[in-house]
């Protein structure tokens, strides 16, 4: 697991920090921060951010008009190749991967709490379709590539937005808040050619003012850009139906040991059954 900063520990582990957190997690605060990060003056933060997070700018196109332009920067294609093969499932984003088998409707056992699919989707009928399937969680940190792509070719339905409070998605937040059920999120059903009906959920985080999906109903191609997050850490959750995709057992074993696997957008993470 990634180490937590002093500031994050203060917000989640002290009384004063939690008082401040109640204000910071209000949507209007995130919106105000988002507006500022879209201004030209916000460019002054780019250099220090790059240095602090060891970001290799030569891997990206670098015409930045604001901090959010930089944060949602577009990678050069040779640095995120898309794994070939019709039966190859790719990761839709960079991130730390955790894997869970969906049993009895329970998806995310985190710090002795459980989060159900129905609470994530707020739709019990849709949730029932993924009984005995697989849930993948991709946790993005601020130094990761924050654009995400389609994991296969197919057709998507309209986006469903669920409003909520905006907490950080770092593990420390999970100790006190049901982050994935409180946070603002957006999901869509992807009718894929090779992996059944996949649900992709984008979860906003502290100071992410916007989850920016590029399409509503849409016919997509594998590796095509689906959207981007603006500033902050973020999470993508993927739900797969039973017996549609085969994943390495190592993902599940490591998750039980609270280990995450670092993956990059376009990398192979599974294959069709």
Residue 174 lies in a domain: yes
pTM over the 0.85 mark: no
**Residue 23 belongs to a domain:** no
Grouping H, G, I as helix, E, B as strand and the rest as coil, residue 52 is helix
The sign of the dihedral angle between the CA atoms of 26, 32, 36, 37 is: positive
Catalytic annotation present for 254: no
In a domain, 200, yes or no: yes
pLDDT in tens, 60-90: 988 889 988 888 899 999 999 999 999 999 9
Number of domains in the chain: 1
Given 72, 91, 93, 94, the catalytic residue: 94
- Residue 6 covered by a domain: no
pLDDT tens readout for residues 105-151: 666 643 334 567 888 888 989 999 999 999 999 988 888 899 999 99
Measured CA to CA in angstroms, residue 136 lies from 34, 92, 141, 239, 244 at distances of 28, 11, 16, 7, 14
Determine whether 152 is an active site residue: no
In a domain, 43, yes or no: no
Asked, for residue 40, whether it belongs to a domain, the answer is: no
Domain that holds residue 109: 81-272
In a domain, 247, yes or no: yes
């Amino acid at each position: 697991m990634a180490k937590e900063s002093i500031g994050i520990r203060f917000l989640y582990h002290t009384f004063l920090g939690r008082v401040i957190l109640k204000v910071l997690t209000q949507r209007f605060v995130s919106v105000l921060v988002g507006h500022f990060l879209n201004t030209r003056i916000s460019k002054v933060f780019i250099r220090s951010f790059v240095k602090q997070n060891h970001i290799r700018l030569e891997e990206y196109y670098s015409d930045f008009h604001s901090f959010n332009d930089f944060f949602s920067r577009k990678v050069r294609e040779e640095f995120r190749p898309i794994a070939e093969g019709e039966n190859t499932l790719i990761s839709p984003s960079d991130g730390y991967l955790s894997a869970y088998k969906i049993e009895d409707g329970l998806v995310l056992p985190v710090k002795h709490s459980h989060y159900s699919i129905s609470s994530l989707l707020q739709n019990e009928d849709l949730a029932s379709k993924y009984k005995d399937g697989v849930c993948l969680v991709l946790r993005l940190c601020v130094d990761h590539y924050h654009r995400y792509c389609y994991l296969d070719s197919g057709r998507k339905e309209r986006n469903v937005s669920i409003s909520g409070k905006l907490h950080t998605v770092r593990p420390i937040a999970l100790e006190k808040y049901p982050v994935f059920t409180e946070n603002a999120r957006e999901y869509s059903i992807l009718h894929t050619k090779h992996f059944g009906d996949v649900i992709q959920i984008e979860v906003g985080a502290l100071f992410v003012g916007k989850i920016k999906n590029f399409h509503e109903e849409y016919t997509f191609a594998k590796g095509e850009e689906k959207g981007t997050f603006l500033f902050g850490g973020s999470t993508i959750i993927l739900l797969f139906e039973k017996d549609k995709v085969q994943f390495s057992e190592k993902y599940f074993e490591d998750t039980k040991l609270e280990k995450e696997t670092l993956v990059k957008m376009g990398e192979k993470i599974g294959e069709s059954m």
